[in-house]
Structure 1
């Protein structure tokens, strides 16, 4: 199995990117190919799907996205294309929060998710994802220390550096640590994308 690729992006298409790893070009299906930039070095966390008629790579900028993708694939009726669609509609925290809160209204707005699949997501994943957030129940987002005034400052700084709002939120979320300064938080967020 291929867990990770580190190389240069040489191609961006509507639903995938091309990553050159020491002269070998890999086709990697991603949530939003246009978050990447041709000619830049990147690290992509991957999920390798081998079928009778194809070997496919699905890639993620953040390992947490890849791990949630794998959890989604364990749900009956959710294939790789549907799982990518779900991840394109919100951050992992938003999706997990909706599952844990049994928010079918949110889940049925996700691409390709009807009432039956939303019910399956809740039934199959609610307990498995119980430790995803620091709090449980309806207070998940309110109790999350990530939700602070400093968060907005970090997201604003990242968007000023050219990241779109969704990616800025994801970078801020995964680089958050309690009691760190805003400057340290921004540096940690940039390291998530390999900027030093």
Structure 2
């Protein structure tokens, strides 16, 4: 699986870009191809979707956009093309707020998203995505001054624990000083298993 491509965008089309990485051209489907600079070396975050008869790359300017795309793919009935169409709008804050505030009418504005699909997006993602904070994460954790602790909290959420469960641990874990990220994760898991 690819994380990103670092190369020059050599071709821009209405539905995709071509990224040249050391002489190999990768066709990457993107939400807004014209937001990428032609002939400029840049990092394109990618997700590879593999099906029975196809392998497709989907690209994003920021890692946070890729994370939001992957969250949308978890929604029942939302495929890569629908998720990409939703992300074509640069107002991701509006999208996330609509999800967290049950705003079905906002979500219905996206192509091929009807009332049922909008409700499913809310049902599957409410409370799981939040507005990007200063650390660049999509989770709405108030960050501490302890980078190892912040990384541990994000890792616990990535393991599948809810943001609410992880927020409850912050105070107890922050009392433990001089710990590595790994040690904070171990302590957090022990606390989660007790509760």
TM-score range relative to shorter protein: 0.5 to 0.7
Compared with structure 1, are the counterparts of its residues 74 and 121 closer, same or farther at alpha carbon in structure 2 (3 Å cutoff)? same
**For the residues of structure 2 that align with 1:41 and 1:91, how far apart are their CA atoms?**
25
TM-score by length of 2: 0.66
Deviation at 1:86, TM superposition (A): 0.5
Deviation at 1:37, TM superposition (A): 2.5
**For the residues of structure 1 that align with 2:48 and 2:42, how far apart are their CA atoms?**
18
| Structure 2 residue matching 1:70: 3-state secondary structure | helix
Instruction: Say what the alpha-carbon RMSD is for the aligned residues.
Output: 1.8
TM-score by length of 1: 0.65
**For the residues of structure 2 that align with 1:130 and 1:89, how far apart are their CA atoms?**
17
Is residue 118 from structure 1 mapped to residue 118 from structure 2 by the alignment? yes
**1:63-82 alignment runs, 5 A limit:** 63-82=63-82
**For the residues of structure 1 that align with 2:124 and 2:34, how far apart are their CA atoms?**
32
Structure 1 regions of 5+ residues with no counterpart? 135-139, 141-196
Structure 2 regions of 5+ residues with no counterpart? 135-139, 141-195
Cα offsets for 1:49-106 (capped at 9, x unmatched): 1111111100000111100000000001100000011011242211111100111111
**1:112-191 alignment runs, 5 A limit:** 112-129=112-129
Q: How many residues align?
A: 135
Higher relative CO (Cα under 8 Å, sequence separation at least 6) belongs to 1
> Are the aligned partners of 1:12 and 1:38 in contact in 2 as well (CA < 8 Å)?
yes
Please name the residue that 2:60 is paired with: 60
- Stretches (4+) displaced over 4 A: 130-134
